[in-house]
Structure 1
Amino acid sequence: MVIVGAGPTGLTAAIMLARRGVECLVLERFVEPYPLPRAVHFDDEVFRILAGLGLAGGLREISRPAPGMRLVDRRLRVLAEFTRDPLGPHGFPQANMFDQPDLERLLRDRLGRLPRATIRGGIEVYDVAQPPSGPVSVRYRSVVSGAEGEVRADAVLGCDGANSVVRAALGAGWEELGSEQRWLVVDAVSPEPLAAYDGVQQVCDHTRAATFMMVTPGRYRWEFRLHGGDPLDVRARIRPWLGGTDPGALTILRQAPYTFRGAVADRWRDRRVFLLGDAAHLTPPFIGQGMCAGIRDAANLTWKLAMVLDGRAEDRLLTTYETERRPYAKAMIRMAMLIGWVMTGGSRRTAPLRRSLLRTVTRLPGVERRATTVAWPALRRGPLVGPGGGRLCPPALDPRLGDGFALVGSGTPEALLIRPDRIVAAAGRHAVPERLTAAGIRFSGL
């Protein structure tokens, strides 16, 4: 197995596969984790996924729970506030701020302790070729010496970002979901804490849209929307958040223009080559789900791929990856674009209407809960979900279930906790409930 790209998505996928016994080679252009911050937020579901890889303690050390988001006007007056639960339904804080280089170091360290995984830095992949039969060929060159090489693999995961070489090799294009926006991203370090809200502030103004957040203690990020050839004095723009802190005392780590866009690849798989993360989808940052979506891609695909490579499942199982993930990614991107427009779109004439609407809507019962769960689709009724809807498996069970899967039942004589290799615990008859076999769900190797 070859994984192209050692960002959070590629490293997570490699850890998941190596834990399931799959030999993994990760190829990455940079020798060390990219030193500048990019992603800065993950939610409680992603925390739970990564905690399941043995990273809970490390994640708590490198991240901090965020209290929520405030929508403010251009004078930083609060229009609405959405709080985040310090203990969400997955058993972890609902919003977590972090510095991406810290996370990548944590993931690399975990991967380095797995005997079936290898990471090679300083390697640039330039071609991926898939013959009608046989393994996939990955061609690469050394960034330092220029020496070229080739490796063959049973499967290739393209986790190599928005300018993905793997996506180009697949011949996949983009399905654009909305217009592009240019923003300036500013990351800075302050020698003293700023007297500002320690959650996320979104300036809701069509001409001066901006985002501010404390990432980790002493580290801050601003994002400013750009209009045409706007000249931008960064230190003047960040001054409203500084209080009594001298703007000259801040160290600017980065100030770089970015284009925020919404798009999904028009196909995510060709036989044994797959796209994950930014190689498969791009989202504006308004609901903080860019990196999270890539981690979810890895969680969805890796167990299926491990079973197919091990001969325990047919190749058709792999078709469910795109079937399940692509519609979800599109819905998430469209939600981010809608929320972004509500917060920063419109015109001078509609600005008073936006302020009034935000104040009114956020006072309605249930709006805050709904606004903080827009990234998670509801479980629809089906063979495993009854009329009352689904609910999450308690996080306390995660250590017992490990990397396998289980059928958990309660409240009936045939309540079961089953793993593919053995029955772990059972109350009543050791049998799969008839309602599942009647629905065409078959279990082998129990």
Structure 2
Amino acid sequence: MGDLFGTDGVRGQANSYPMTAEVALKLGAAAGRYFRTDGQNRHRVVIGKDTRLSGYMLENALTAGLTSTGMNVLLLGPVPTPAVGFLTRSMRADIGIMISASHNPHQDNGIKFFGPDGFKLSDGAQNQIEKILKGEIAPAKPENIGRARRVEDGLGRYIEYAKTTFPSRGRLSGLKVVVDCANGAAYRAAPEVLWELGAEVIPIGVSPNGFNINDKCGSTHTETAAQAVVQHGADLGICLDGDADRIMIIDENGKVADGDQIMALLADRWALDGRLSGATLVSTVMSNLGLERFLSARGINLLRTNVGDRYVVEAMRAGGFNLGGEQSGHIVMTDYATTGDGLIAGLQFMAEMAQSGDKASTLTQNFTSVPQMLKNVKYKGNIDPLSLEKVALVIADGEAKLAKTGRLVIRKSGTEPLIRVMGEDEDLSRLTNVVDEIVGVIESVC
């Protein structure tokens, strides 16, 4: 891809390149010029955001750029990322835009684009937008400047849709649920959906102030919710991230289950019900080897992709598969949503609880994880450490040592100047030695 777009849109620290009002304005204008090719004033774009303070600045700048090229803007306010995908299709918009840096701290922000089908824009489309941005962008004539207005019921539409994904006439009566909304985009939607379905809801992380998104809460900081589950004697906890496209489940004992365990449960149950398309689960190279072995024993194929939910979705669409996700908690169910949806994934999990009568601890311990180790190595300059012979040799040696009982995944981060070294092996001591040796060599050449 180009210089601006990473693996998940444009992202950076607020008020620093590329997350400045100036870049957002130009990006909006370029996107408008890319989609409004016929000069007509019937084109729409919906914009959602999470609860970061910088969201106001970027929302206004994008709106100015989009309207300057003749696009009509519909502002949703704070809504989950999957709501933008849903409403882009529902409102027949040409583009959906989400302003969020997902699970990152408040000082970061990002801009994600969705196409008219509700799926994230392809690399090719993003490259074209970036090409337009680097040139002169022709503004619309004065009589063709776009309009902007706030959509008051966008969140309500999403809430009603999310409820329809739960089994018909099903209820969550008798379930006590802690829901941690990370002081983010789902702070209103998630507790409301659970309450309307009949659960006793204990909401935390629902007091956003512009600065506390993902701060000691949410899917990347599950300790707060785990304590609340135990303290209140809840049946489970649901931890969302700042834009609510990922989830972690906490059982009644306060133990955390990641995306691999949630995907294992859904893949197994869906396969038994004849609902799992192609008998295949799509996940990334980071998913645990234990998940792969669990699925294989049940005749289910695991198709691995590069890291990033966009690559999971691309593989799902190409193969006609309907379940995929990431260990980090993105759960993509294309029967229901065009992107990862933490809330709907939580509803599917609770539907299995209600149907089976099993406790959360039973449903989240589907397989024993193979010991996994991940270390990051920072590098500077234009030299790719992975292209150096010394690094290639130590990686090859490590792969040989783990060939029979584990595996290695070594890659560059798509968002930071990092080399990520991940290894898995049944022998923790051997794994530690292999990973440390590779990290040491990469550090020496950096």
Q: Larger C-alpha radius of gyration, 1 or 2? A: 1
Q: Give 1 or 2: higher strand fraction.
A: 1
TM-score, length of structure 2 as denominator length: 0.26
TM-score, length of structure 1 as denominator length: 0.26
